[in-house]
Structure 1
Amino acid sequence: MRRLWLMVWLTSIAVACSRTPSSPTPTAPPTATCSYALGTTALSMAGVGGSATIGVTTNASCAWTVASSSSFVSVTSAGSATGPGTVRITVAENLGDARSTTLTIAGQTVTVNQAAGDPVFGNWAGTITKGAGCAASLPSSVQWTGLLRRNAGGFHEFVINIPAAGVVNQTVNVTITGNTLQFAVVVDALYTFTGNLASDRRSLTGSFSGGTCSGTWNGTRV
């Protein structure tokens, strides 16, 4: 009996010694949480346009994108990135009233507000087609600088220079209502010019009359 117990004891020791310890089950690393902070969520741009940058702060492994469907704001940096970065945008010149649009950066909305057209509206040149009865002193060409002034109603006044006989850089006042431009210039008699601005405010066409004279005219921003 003693011999039997001794054999059982020795067998149990041998079995225990032959067992290999099991390796611990590896634990998956925790998933990184991505959060994003933008340098700004609102931009105010001048009417002349320009460029701006928006910083994106996030973890190094976090990806993000930029989306824009705006007709006057373009993204000049990459449309996507991973980790911290900078978004660069370009805003086109505004030739009309104040406007705004939005971008989506890293899932967040950024509002871009642009002021109305710059007070210096630009240089223009045009031609005048004279009909019968028009004085020779009425020029066949016109050049002006649109010094755009504003009031509460929007576009208010140009100052236009029209060369005339014996008169250089004659000043003409112009009133704009909506997309309709009206102005008058005195060259031997009172001529009233009327015209319509194109929606992009870069070209116009119209007619004029004064006394026994009438005709058509056009202008283009140069």
Structure 2
Amino acid sequence: MNTPLTQSTVLPLASGLTLCDDGLVRPTWASHDELLRSYYDAEWGLPVHDEVGVFERLVLEGFQAGLSWRTVLAKRGAFRAAFAGFSPDRVAAFTGDDIERLSTNPEIIRNRRKIESAISNARATVAMRSTGDSSHGPTHLGELVWSYRPTCDPHPRSQGEVPTQLPESVALAKDLKDRGFRFVGPTTMLALMAAIGIVNTDIVGTHRRPA
């Protein structure tokens, strides 16, 4: 159970941490906006292993590139509706008509390159599953991403110590690119890995990572 802290018990707070009005310490990025606060408290960093769940987060992280996660998170429901619940099979079957439909949908991020990459990533996801052999490696996207779990988590104690890349995220990005995935750079892949519980990049001192 998380115990609310008082100003006197947490000072001085490290860079990147904020004491919120409910008495809990959160990373600053998740401290001021209710949508981000709820996401951090209830979802960020919790394990996601299934193919659809990992595919959704990979696509959304790709759409986030160059934008704020808040922007993507606010449109998540619209993305799910537009991308068939992030079913890799259904998205892989999208045609040019679907690209035009998505490119004119005001409820999502209408970046044509990112839309096209989401479709190509769905096809790469299906191809991995259909050709996979458990004796030779992962048989679906979730297994592949989790196979790059680091042996040890980083323990950043300030915002400046939070890594933007790890050797494992670099290797995962290369593996995915070799399999035909797009918008999967090392920094984006570390964000994905942190979001779905593969690696903990939370700053030490939050209510979710007190020590």
Q: TM-score, normalised by structure 2?
A: 0.24
Q: Give the structure-1-normalised TM-score.
A: 0.23
The structure that has the greater radius of gyration is 1
Larger relative strand fraction: 1
Higher relative contact order (CA 8 A, sep 6+): 2
- Greater share of helix: 2
